[in-house]
A and B are shown apart, each in its own frame.
Chain A
């Protein structure tokens, strides 16, 4: 079945550092790919998405490019802030599928 593999955390960074969280997927056909973020004590918020190969999703300084050749959707941000401390989830919705399949989540802590 469809699945998502995320790099394991936790990840600890200093403010203004570069962040990358690796995400690879296994799916038949052409899934849609998503990044969700969960801030402490809150629900999941959609961060960005991409629906076809080579699409780049971007939001709040975060970017991810849908790479079909490497089945990847890595999340990047050039300069993180303390407020970016959260758990980040990579997810996919497969072809002919209604549900989201999530990765295990990566906890990111940004120190001032």
Chain B
């Protein structure tokens, strides 16, 4: 158990809908990262937050947004969902959010868009 928690574990929804994925980092970690794991793209970095502020952005679609709250939990919002958004979404956390720091991953949220 990494100490990173994610909810829900599974999510099934329809095209065009909006969903929110939630992540709580390990105790003491200030930085949160979001990754998407899909069969065709593999594991792709989406976005990083540090202490409430966006720090780095990867291949995140404009339909997707994220935020980190004062209690350091983070939410990833996915809107206007398409079939291709079906994937496993991972949250990771690290202590300081600095370069090359070890990241600890949560169990993931499996999203199925029908």
Inter-chain CA distance A95–B92, complex, in Å, is 19
A-binding segment of B13-21, B70-78, B104-112: B104-112
Mask of B68-106 contacts with A, CB within 8 angstroms, 1/0: 000000000000000000000010100001111111111
A51 to B90, CA, bound (A): 23
Give the contacts of B11-34 with A (CB-CB under 8 A). Answer: 33
Q: Decide yes or no whether B42 CB sits under 8 A from chain A.
A: yes
Contacting pair B2 A43 (CB below 8 A): yes
| CB pair A89 B43 closer than 8 Å | yes
Pick the contact of A98 from B99, B106, B107 — CB < 8 Å? B99
Q: Mark A79-100, 1 if CB is under 8 A from B, else 0.
A: 0000000000100011111111
CB < 8 Å: which of A32, A96, A97, A104 contacts B42? A104
On chain B, which size bracket covers the interface?
A: 20 to 34
Determine the chain B residues whose CB is within 8 A of the CB of A104 once the complex forms. 42
CB pair B90 A44 closer than 8 Å: yes
From B58, B98, B105, give the contact of A43 (CB < 8 A): B105
Closest to B48 in A: A98
User: Which of B43, B48, B108 is most buried by chain A, counting CB atoms within 10 A of its CB?
Assistant: B43
Tell me if A46 and B102 are in contact (CB < 8 A).
yes
A102 and B100 contact, CB distance less than 8 A: no
Given contacts A44-B90, A100-B45, A104-B42, contact A95 B99 (CB under 8 A): yes
User: A-contacting residues of B (Cβ < 8 Å)?
Assistant: 2, 33, 35, 42-43, 45, 48, 55-56, 58, 90, 92, 97-108
Enumerate chain A interface residues (CB-CB to B < 8 A).
Answer: 31-32, 34, 36, 42-46, 49, 51, 89, 93-105
Q: Can you offer 17 A-B residue contacts whose CB atoms are under 8 A?
A: A31-B100, A42-B107, A43-B2, A43-B106, A43-B107, A44-B90, A44-B105, A51-B100, A89-B43, A93-B99, A94-B99, A94-B100, A97-B100, A98-B101, A99-B56, A100-B92, A105-B42
